[in-house]
Amino acid sequence: MSNPRKFFVGGNWKMNGDKAAIDGIIEFMKKGPLNPNTEVVVGCPQCYLMYTRQNMPEEIGVAAQNCYKAAKGAFTGEISPAMIKDCGCHWVILGHSERRNVFGEPDQLISEKVGHALEAGLKVIPCIGEKLEERESNRTEEVVFAQLKALLPNISDWSRVVIAYEPVWAIGTGKTATPEQAQDVHAKLRHWLRENVNAEVADSCRIIYGGSVTPANCAELAKMGDIDGFLVGGASLKPDFVNIINARG
């Protein structure tokens, strides 16, 4: 049976790029060709949201890499979903492992951010994933289920949620999960959704994989039944990103 969920590839530029670099990315994205059956969203630094949205082809979504849980206020250095929308963008990445592990964001805060972003009308890519010591102590399921459970009370509209599973131990480390390891966690996450939300959400919600996805391993990963796409870091800054977008023929 073919996968009914639309393939989704996100590019997370992280704290990289300037206008000249973004122009280069826009150039290779325009050149493509990109598989029209794949939904593509790029996550850019907040100071370039408007520039990227104005110059990137219309069919490619633009995401902020973070936002706060309020519409406005005395929150120096933060950005709100309303501001993201005002820049013409409709997506936000929340709870990325770097937000959790470098900046210390707890599950509850991430959940509140997801809730506010959805209420404000954004589409959200919440990220979950375990660290190396958690995987090695066989705590992967415990960790990712707890992160998912924390999100539940604040998810009002599952149709605007794309879950990114990112094993922290496989991001930028050169270690990669095998397609089978990734599929195993994705299948367990989908089963968890079936048990804790409902069958419709479990069947329709896209669960994408982000752990050192490259042009070399993307086709094998894309064949897995519960992997609905990718969240790509460094590779999204390079022309090879087009090959990853086209991983599912």
- CA–CA distance, 92 with 123 (Å, rounded to integer): 6
Residue 21 confidence (pLDDT) above 60: yes
- Looking at the annotation, which residues are catalytic? 96, 166
Q: Give the CATH number of domain 7-245.
A: 3.20.20.70
Residue 2 confidence (pLDDT) above 70: no
Residue 155 confidence (pLDDT) above 60: yes
Instruction: Give the pLDDT confidence score for residue 52 in this predicted structure.
Output: 98
Interval 36-42 mean pLDDT: 98
Residue-wise pLDDT tens digits, 50-77: 999 999 999 999 999 999 999 999 999 9
Interval 127-145 mean pLDDT: 95
Report the percentage of the chain scoring pLDDT > 90. Answer: 93
Residue 81: which residues within 8 A CB-CB, separation 6 or more? 67, 71, 92, 116, 117, 120, 121, 122
The single-letter DSSP state of residue 210 is -
The pTM of the full predicted model, rounded to 2 decimals, is 0.97
Instruction: Give the pLDDT confidence score for residue 172 in this predicted structure.
Output: 72
Residue-wise pLDDT tens digits, 193-241: 999 999 999 999 999 999 889 999 999 999 999 999 999 999 999 999 9
Instruction: Give the pLDDT confidence score for residue 27 in this predicted structure.
Output: 98
Q: Measuring CA to CA, which residue among 42, 35, 112 is closest to residue 80? A: 112
Contact between 95 and 126 under an 8 Å Cβ cutoff? The reply is yes
When pLDDT is cut at 50, 70 and 90, the band that residue 1 belongs to is: very low
Residue-wise pLDDT tens digits, 116-131: 999 999 999 999 999 9
